[in-house]
Structure 1
Amino acid sequence: MISVSALSGVQFIAEFRILLLGNKGAGKTSLANMILCRQTTSPKSTAQCTKIRGVAAGRLVTLVDNPGWWKNFLVDETPEFQKQELVLSMAHCPPGPHAVLLVIRVDVLYTEKNSRAAQQHLELLGKDIWKHTIVVFTYSDRLQDQTVEQHVESEGEAVLQRLVGKCGNRYHVFNIDRYSGTQVKELLEMIEDMVSGNGGSCYEMDQTCLYEVKEMRRVVEEKAHKRKMMVQEQRDVHKGHNCSLSSIRMVLLGYRRSGKSSIRNNIFGRENTGLKRTSQCVKTQSEVSGNVITVVDTPGWWKTLAIRDTAELDKQEILRSICLCPPGPHALLLTLRLDMPFRDKEMNSLEEHMGLLGERAWKHTILLFTHGDLLGDLTVEQYIESEGKDLKLLVAKCRNRYHVLNNKNLLDGGQVTELFKKVEWMVAENEGFYYEMHPRTYKEVRRKWRLMEKKSKMRLKVKPRRTINSVKGAGQYLTELSLILLGYGEAGKTSASNTILGTTDFGFKRTSCCVKRTGEVEGRLLTVIDTPGWWKRLPIEEMPQFIKQEILKSVSLIPPCPVSFLLVIRLDSSFQEEERRAAKDHMDLFGDMAWNRTIVLFTCGDWLADRSIQLYIESEGEALKWILGKCGNRYHILSNKNQRSSAQVTELLKKIEELVAENKACRSAGMWDLKEKTENRTENMQSKERGLQRQTEDFDSDDDVFTIDTKYNIFK
């Protein structure tokens, strides 16, 4: 791959108009400062389009810096106001930019999804944008001995090569940590070359599209102003009846990563250091501005998933939060991020989880927007109006009560004081009442929690089913082992495979076919096979035939040595009857003997925090207990966020060695029995599929169209 060389007859550009685009953290603002040789402190996030004029390499330059998108988020996952801002950037450099610089930092992994996100965001400006685009790689000094060409060719299976190819193989490399007039001069020369190659023209966007976005922004501004006036009038009604509270009790609710823990620190004037995901309710009480403030932080749910996917322990924690601030909270603070869209999936998930507290909870709820710094000069009302009907419906359910917190200025006491005032206004609106759980529900929550704790302590006494004392060579150190990881999609099989081998050889993508890797772990030759996941709740009859064949194929890939199955289940999600049935049916593909060789591997072990695994098992109920019973109560917990911890892998291998001893599977002969039976099952499946295909062909030859539903025709 070569960069563009100078063309003969290059057109001289009196003033360069340049548009900077890229994901958050790519270095757009630093690059802008470097081009114009501006001395600045650490750059801030660009909230809105910023137009800068100056001189670079003796030439006049107009730069338009844009807000970045989240690197892993496609265009549908970007809020409307940010997409509008990107389109409106064209209006800052009429009639259009000479060059669009797609900024990518070279010192971090760039994946296929990152590339798709970049393409989708750029094409908001039109499909022809690529003729006027140059890729600019930032932080080039961190490549060390590697050239940018080597990096582009090796990174992410040629992802960067394809992206640079869309730009006509135009790219430039920048060290933005140190100013160099040469690299700025070379960039401007490259832009001149590109403009000449485009017939001397700049990029002009479809004016109809630009007009439509401007009109949308104008309508949003009008509606936002009306909303602001309406909310102010609503507050004025209760102004004379304001309820002054000497103590305020609040519960934080919301999806994961919505910023709940940061809000807690903000309220109490603490720095955000060492924040972890909230696994259990955290109660904090202190005096703030002369008031006794109690805040209970709760575990978050997955942003777009239904409540059925939320672990029972998390649901119990949400209910328990009310019990931790008796007699009840004055306010339920429902957190949302301003830098993420809010659609029907988010709305459905939120309503279901809030439904745990009953319909009365909405009377005591304030919508709390985080990351308010990303709005720039826009108002929160403009954000609400631009995001669409679902967010407006949510605001209405909260009776137009909302507040914005600036996460870049968490120690600003003014925004917290304003939040307390809004809580007092809401209490006045509710005639002095706080949220109180129904006594019967309150008793039931406490009863259920005590029962789960009691049963979990009893489960501690339940030991794995073993015949280890009667097996010769029990606990023997094995020099060679094979592991086959099975489970539903997103259970964490691939991450667990990487953790076990202490590598990233399995990659990070969804596994679509069997992947075999070998490595030495504590003196053992370990063969690990990752398999495609099945749909978590889909009956096996509805699974594609090739997936079942691929899962069965895993056994044919193992060497002649002891083998164990790891049935992977993630801890931070629910496990119900449908999951049990799907797991049973897929395990049964290997025959009943497979259960005797299986250990349940729980991933996301960090989610448990201080809670016991027994408490999780008891909370999930009979479906999970049945699976564990089939595996002889053998299980292990793995934290894939702590991959450097060898102790968890060492303990797992010890359990596997004990399992091998129990099954008298140290001899390779026992392994080939399983292999032969599995291969026979695979052959039967393929034979049935070929037969069905012939039948279908016969029917297709008739005049009448007839189709066969093959989804229930699998071997038993």
Structure 2
Amino acid sequence: MITIPKLHMVLLGSRSAGKTSLGNTLLGNKEQEVGKWTARSVARQGFLGQTEITLVDTPGWWKGFPVCDTPEAIKDELMTSPFQCRPGPHVFLLVIDADASFNAKHLLAVTTHMDLLGEGVWRHTIVVFTRGDWLGTHTIEQYIEGEGQALQSLVEQCGNRYHVIDNKNADDGTQTTELLGRITETVAGNNWDYFVPDEKIYLAVEKRKKSVKKGALLRQSQVHAKRKTLRDSSKELQELTVVMLGQKTSGKSATGNNLLCKEVFATCQNESCQVGTGDVAGRLVTVIDTPGWRKDPSRCTQEMDIELVRGLSLSPLGVHAVLLVVPLDLAFGELQQAALEDHMDLFDASIWKHTMVVFTHGDKLAHKSIEEHIEREHSALRWLIDKCENKYHVMNNRKKANMSQGTELFEKIDEMMAGNGEQLFCPEMNDIYLRIEEKFRRRQLKHVLKQRLKEEYQKRELKLMEGFKETLLQLQADVRGNVTSTKSMSQTKGIGLRKKEGTKKKENIDSKISQEIEKLEKDIRTKSSEVLQSSKDFLVPSVNGESPAPSIAYSLPDRKSSTGQFDKVLRWLSTLQIGTNVDNQMTLKFSQTSGYGSVLPHDNLDFDTELMNES
């Protein structure tokens, strides 16, 4: 086997896949602590046999989460990892844990994160399966075959380059020797070239870092100045009541337990509100935990919203603070903002004066300040922080014994109360329940309007297709008439070869038209079936406020996807706003240029009204 004097490698993979353990095995030491989360890309040097190696360990992504859910800081570390071993790595070792399943979601997570590194990365990539002892008597090929299409597709994308490592037998030198052989084959197959990263990526990340630091320092100074002013007028509250809000799996329950310094709330997904109390640092603290909302607002039901807001009724006099929990280990983007607004809008606008963002998974900040995280992330997070007037706090729920996290948060709540004139947040619950009813009534209206618009669109498309068919039939009749005339002339006047060629061309045209008519008739039959099916799917909302249940037909697997133009219409319709006019009638707030001016009767919906203006 040819020996490579120097070898550059980058470890990639999801969290807890065994990247760091593999690095220790290759380097023959345990310099890097196994099990500890890697917060940034780190280059390590050592020898593998006679080969001097530089090994770059990188932060892992959440398994099953695509790159859009990964924080910007992690993406930056992944994109700049090849620059840790200039001029670039020879190979990327993509680590997959063999003790867990691998499905389509995991494949999407891998491919979207690998795409961050640019073109050509797959030619330099080897899949390394860790925890090979879990395979038992099965071979790695049997495992790949048994996992299905997703894993097979990944291995094929890497040119069927893979290797398996048994982490429990790290001292077995044959494993690393065989892996080195596979690496050498890969490097040789790439003409011994490095993977050369795009320098523009590095420059862009470095430029962004400078901008982030500048914004972070400005935000820090603003927060410190405001806190200093409020601290002088604040007083320590002897009794404190807080309500926890946030998306599912954000860490609300764990944070509540941390604040109370005891295990009160189950950290699994709670479906109902719970109350916990405790004496903490001389204060009587009451924590109200609520069910988290879903990332997709359309999956939230009216019952879920009612239960969520019920938490406020558990403290009739009001709450001192609304703690809005946001995890640091996942991105906060437009989808998260939409879900948050969908639920915060149930309360009156004054809720923001009483709201503080609590960031969980504080250990994921590592070497960064929270302000740097805020400035680096999507603008949606800065919108949220600005909405809360720069009131935020960081919790590391792994450090349960660290009571200072809770006491610092309580001090910030004291200051917030001083800024609010010592007023508690005590909204009118009847108003909230009315907003919930209105929210789901509007959702039902939108559902019905979309179905009606879809049906109308399909009818018009069918009409156009039938009109086109008539045009083709007329054209075919004209062509056939000309063919008959040409044949007649050829027989009576003895027209030669050129006339025969013209006849042949017309017959070919006639044949093509027949084929198009046949295809069109098939499409018309399909479209007619869709129009009929759409009529069956059309559900008028029930009067008891329940969402219309989708019919069986709506879930059929062979339903065709919408056309691109129709998708545009639906995206526009999804932004539709419904209000009331002077007569208290439901009114659609269309743009001035849309040409619509519809009014929906409050009780008796007339859906026979034309929804689309004739052009």
Give per-residue Cα distances to partners, 1:87-122, cap 9 Å, x unaligned: 121221111112110001112111123122212211
Instruction: Pick one of 36, 39, 42 that aligns with 2:27.
Output: 36
Name the aligned partner's letter for residue 290 of structure 2.
T
Q: 1:314 to 1:31 in 2, by over 3 A?
A: same
Instruction: Pick one of 196, 203, 228 that aligns with 1:236.
Output: 228
Offset, 1:585: 8.1
Contact 2:306–2:433 (8 Å) recurs in 1 = no
Give per-residue Cα distances to partners, 1:218-252, cap 9 Å, x unaligned: 21122112211221111112121122111111000
Q: 1:546 to 1:260 in 2, by over 3 A?
A: farther
Q: Distance in 2 between matches of 1:378 and 1:168?
A: 38
Offset, 1:577: 5.8
Query: Which residue does the alignment assign to 2:164?
Result: 173
Contact 1:20–1:63 (8 Å) recurs in 2 = yes
Corresponding residue SS for 2:312: helix
Q: How do 1:57-456 residues align onto structure 2 when only pairs under 5 Å count?
A: 57-157=49-149, 159-179=150-170, 180-270=172-262, 275-305=267-297, 309-437=299-427, 441-442=428-429
Contact 2:12–2:58 (8 Å) recurs in 1 = yes
Contact 2:11–2:56 (8 Å) recurs in 1 = yes
Query: Which residue does the alignment assign to 1:45?
Result: 37
Contact 1:338–1:374 (8 Å) recurs in 2 = yes
Q: Which runs of 5+ in 2 are unaligned?
A: 437-446, 459-524, 538-543, 556-611
Q: 1:84 to 1:176 in 2, by over 3 A?
A: same
Q: Distance in 2 between matches of 1:343 and 1:446?
A: 28
Q: 1:80 to 1:537 in 2, by over 3 A?
A: farther
Q: 1:49 to 1:206 in 2, by over 3 A?
A: same
Corresponding residue SS for 1:118: helix
Name the aligned partner's letter for residue 371 of structure 1.
H
Offset, 1:380: 1.4
Contact 2:99–2:135 (8 Å) recurs in 1 = yes
Offset, 1:58: 4.8
Report the structure number with the largest CA radius of gyration. Answer: 2
Give per-residue Cα distances to partners, 1:478-518, cap 9 Å, x unaligned: xxxxxxxxxxxxxxxxxxxxxxxxxxxxxxxxxxxxxxxxx
Corresponding residue SS for 1:409: coil
Offset, 1:51: 2.2
Contact 1:320–1:445 (8 Å) recurs in 2 = no
Deviant stretches of 4+, over 4 Å: 271-274, 443-449, 535-538, 543-550, 575-578, 584-587
Q: Compute the TM-score of the two structures, normalised by the length of structure 1.
A: 0.61
Name the aligned partner's letter for residue 35 of structure 1.
L
Percent of residue pairs bearing the same amino acid type? 36
Contact 2:83–2:197 (8 Å) recurs in 1 = no
Offset, 1:442: 3.7
Q: Which runs of 5+ in 1 are unaligned?
A: 1-5, 450-534, 554-566, 568-574, 588-710, 712-716
Give per-residue Cα distances to partners, 1:189-222, cap 9 Å, x unaligned: 3222222221222111011122112211221122
Offset, 1:293: 0.5
Q: How do 1:512-661 residues align onto structure 2 when only pairs under 5 Å count?
A: 539=451, 542=454, 579-580=548-549, 582-583=550-551
CA RMSD of superposed structures (Å): 3.2
Q: Distance in 2 between matches of 1:330 and 1:365?
A: 9
Q: Compute the TM-score of the two structures, normalised by the length of structure 2.
A: 0.70
Give per-residue Cα distances to partners, 1:399-433, cap 9 Å, x unaligned: 10011111332332121121111111111111222
Give per-residue Cα distances to partners, 1:614-642, cap 9 Å, x unaligned: xxxxxxxxxxxxxxxxxxxxxxxxxxxxx
Name the aligned partner's letter for residue 29 of structure 1.
T
Offset, 1:546: 6.9
Q: 1:99 to 1:272 in 2, by over 3 A?
A: farther
Query: Which residue does the alignment assign to 1:526?
Result: none
Contact 1:278–1:298 (8 Å) recurs in 2 = yes
Offset, 1:262: 0.9
Q: 1:90 to 1:302 in 2, by over 3 A?
A: same
Contact 1:57–1:184 (8 Å) recurs in 2 = no
Q: 1:153 to 1:100 in 2, by over 3 A?
A: same
Q: Distance in 1 between matches of 2:288 and 2:264?
A: 17
Contact 1:57–1:181 (8 Å) recurs in 2 = no
Contact 1:243–1:432 (8 Å) recurs in 2 = no
Q: Distance in 2 between matches of 1:549 and 1:112?
A: 32
Query: Which residue does the alignment assign to 1:670?
Result: none
Q: Distance in 1 between matches of 2:204 and 2:551?
A: 51
Name the aligned partner's letter for residue 275 of structure 2.
K
Q: How do 1:679-690 residues align onto structure 2 when only pairs under 5 Å count?
A: none
Q: Distance in 2 between matches of 1:137 and 1:154?
A: 15
Contact 2:243–2:321 (8 Å) recurs in 1 = yes
Offset, 1:443: 5.9
Query: Which residue does the alignment assign to 2:466?
Result: none
For these two proteins, the number of residue pairs brought into alignment is 468
Q: Distance in 1 between matches of 2:297 and 2:431?
A: 26
Query: Which residue does the alignment assign to 2:570?
Result: none
